[in-house]
Chain A
């Protein structure tokens, strides 16, 4: 008899709480998943495809679904750390498949060799190449993200990647180049 009462009581309590929870789950229902936008904001937007996805947004979606976070080569360690912070996962070192960042570069077309085939224009993910069929092509350096995708399609191999020159504007106060002295 006691057992029955016990079971009844527990069952009633459980039912009551269950009802409350059921109501709460409808009342506090959450739609959508804004994490993809946040992830995308952390990625460098070079749209190079080195991660294996056609662009940064697809990679952000993949990471939101559990893809490894260490695949972005242009982003480097910084981006991995930021993604790890956002998702609350451990920081992993960059995938060995990608070689280390060699420093920021922009593409440059050697105009003497260009034949105007428009193959590189079709390859550029951010439309940073100006040109038309049988007309001279050139890179808009300000828009170039240095993703390397135009170098391969060129049939006459006239595109090369050049490092961004150091100017007074982007000088980084390199402590190792100039001796820092504390003068009193």
Chain B
């Protein structure tokens, strides 16, 4: 039990997928201009990541490994992720059309989010068991959501700030992300994984 909690904390803070492992930067920069879209995106990504890591574990353990088809790992993972994202897209479209429109192209782009594929592959690499896979996936998503929401709040304030003209817009956002990353380095050593 403690292991799982430590795994979670480690994934969310110490080895944060966005700020420390630098995965999933695309939606991080793209969706974080408004907090509403950021929150919506974080829910969608959480759903996708957890489900994807679960399903990919199942596919690996019960289909690919017994049949010696490890070379199909990448393809099948992509297949799984794509299906899950498509499913999520339909659900979002139905439940909240405005969110669907706000997210726009970034919702299907979760498929290409390297964090999702990264979670699935890392689960494999780190030889996690069933529960560990789920927690790892969920933790990755939680870390992603945390950072995404924090960053969007900062960006909303930055819009009204007195920023020098060469730095306005994406430039100051990147600098802020870099500073956040520096801040998160403070967590290193918190949990020994």
Contact = CB atoms under 8 A, between A and B. Distances in A.
Contacts of B104: 88
A10 B97 contact: no
Interface in B96-111: 97-98, 101-102, 104
Contact of B59 (A13, A25, A34, A88): A13
A10 B86 contact: no
Interface stretch (A14-22, A42-50, A136-144): A14-22
A29 interface: yes
B90 A6 contact: no
A14 B79 contact: yes
B67 A24 contact: no
Given A21-B87, A88-B104, A10 B76 contact: yes
Contacts of B83: 17, 20-21
Given A2-B68, A9-B67, 6 more contacts: A2-B69, A5-B69, A10-B72, A13-B59, A35-B101, A88-B104
B87 A10 contact: no
Given A2-B68, A9-B67, A87 B101 contact: yes
A28 B94 contact: yes
6 contacts: A5-B67, A13-B76, A20-B83, A21-B87, A24-B86, A88-B101
Q: For this complex, into which size category does the number of interface residues on chain B fall?
A: 20 to 34
B95 to A, nearest CB: 8
Contact of B93 (A20, A28, A35): A28
Interface of B: 59, 63-64, 67-69, 72, 75-76, 79-80, 83, 86-87, 90-91, 93-94, 97-98, 101-102, 104
Secondary structure class of chain B's binding surface, majority of residues: helix
A29 B80 contact: no
A128 B76 CA distance: 66
A24 B91 CA distance: 8
Contact of A30 (B59, B67, B94, B102): B94
Contacts of A25: 90
B79 A6 contact: no
Interface in A22-42: 24-25, 28-30, 34-35, 38
Contacts of B79: 10, 13-14, 17
Nearest to B37: A88
Nearest to A14: B79
B108 to A, nearest CB: 13
Contacts of B64: 9
B57 to A, nearest CB: 14
A38 B97 CA distance: 12
A28 B80 contact: no
A14 B68 CA distance: 18
Most chain B Cβ neighbours within 10 Å, of A2, A13, A34 = A13
Nearest to B91: A28
B69 A30 contact: no
Nearest to A34: B97
B80 to A, nearest CB: 7
B63 A9 contact: yes
A28 B91 CA distance: 6
B29 to A, nearest CB: 15
Nearest to A33: B97
B63 A13 contact: yes
B68 A30 contact: no
Contacts of B102: 88
A131 B79 CA distance: 70
